[in-house]
Amino acid sequence: MLRSMKDLHGFRIGATDGDIGTVQECYFDDVSHTVRYLVVDTGGWLSERRVLLSPIAFRSMDWEHKRITAALTKAQVEKSPDIDTEKPVSRQHEIVYYGYYGYTPYWAGSYLWGAFPYPYSGSGPAMTAADLERERRWNWDANDWNDPHLRSSREVTGYHIQATDGDIGHVEDLLVDDQSWKIRYMIVDTTNWWPGKKVLVAPDWISEVNWAESKVHVQLGREKIRTSPEYDPSRPVERSYEARLYGHYARPRYWDE
């Protein structure tokens, strides 16, 4: 199911021996557009320290009560490598982090999560050999993928969206697959250009992101976006809606890859 990134803010993270803290934001890589870490505020028990937690550690998610259960102890989190969440997280930081927890790095394999299509092998649906072969499409050894930049969900929210022929609005939120943690869509608020409508734009349709100017360029025209199927945030995104969306833009559907 697709979930709002904003809805994750404030989630409680539970370790095996007590609560760790609350989710403040998410970091995603700008190559595969996948959430790699949640930034967790540990509150008073770690002197207001913020830590990174990978979805690899998550075992259950209770969306109704806004709680994630992780296969970690508080001592593990307390002794985890210090990472300054106010600065970019480098690949070197990630290597130290993955080494400490004993995780297989997501860049050390041909799947979205390195050795697996999902962060935790028990989190996704059972996959056949054909399914697994279809998912083997991530060449993390490519030169331009060696050190992908991690981006903050809070930072990207509010970025302007530039169509091929002008502005269309701004990023209001991100929709994430709650099994693979891949960002499937940006929710675009078109209020300043076309009042009263929200639309979805997939990261695969981005042509360029100007991080310095906080602007996302997409390979779509304004009129095509204006006539796209409207997004209703009060309803879950169903596959039938996604099929209409991809059909409207004549784009290959990600679930057929």
Confidence of residue 168 (pLDDT cuts 50, 70, 90): very high
Given this model, what pLDDT does residue 255 score?
A: 86
* DSSP character string of 32-67: TTEEEEEEEE-GGGGTT-EEEE-GGGEEEEETTTTE
Confidence of residue 142 (pLDDT cuts 50, 70, 90): low
Q: What is the dihedral of CA 212, 217, 222, 224, to 10 degrees?
A: -160
Where in the chain are the domains?
1-155, 157-256
Q: How does DSSP classify residue 94?
A: H
Per-residue pLDDT reduced to its tens digit, 106-117: 998 899 999 899
Structure tokens, 189 = 């608020």
157-256 has which CATH code? Answer: 2.30.30.240
Between 148 and 119, the higher pLDDT residue: 119
**Cβ pair 137, 112 in contact under 8 A:** no
Task: Mark residue 66 as left, alpha or beta (left: phi above 0; alpha: psi -120 to 50; beta: remaining).
Answer: left
Q: Is the pLDDT of residue 34 over 80?
A: yes
How confident is residue 84, by pLDDT bands cut at 50, 70 and 90? confident
CB 215 within 8 A of CB 162: yes
Planar angle of CA 186, 189, 191, nearest 5 degrees: 165
Rounded to an integer, the average pLDDT of 125-149 is 75
Binned at pLDDT 50, 70 and 90, residue 89 comes out as confident
Per the DSSP assignment, residues forming a β-bridge with 21 are 13
What is the reported pLDDT for 147?
63
Q: Flag whether pLDDT at 144 surpasses 60.
A: no
Mean pLDDT, residues 29-43: 92
pLDDT for residue 143 is more than 60: no
What mean pLDDT is reported for the chain?
A: 90
- Supply the pTM of this predicted model: 0.92
pLDDT in tens, 214-250: 999 999 999 999 999 999 999 999 999 999 999 999 9
Q: Do 1-155 and 157-256 come out as alike in CATH topology?
A: yes
CATH topology of domain 1-155: SH3 type barrels. (2.30.30)
Given a cut of 80, is residue 139 above it in pLDDT?
no
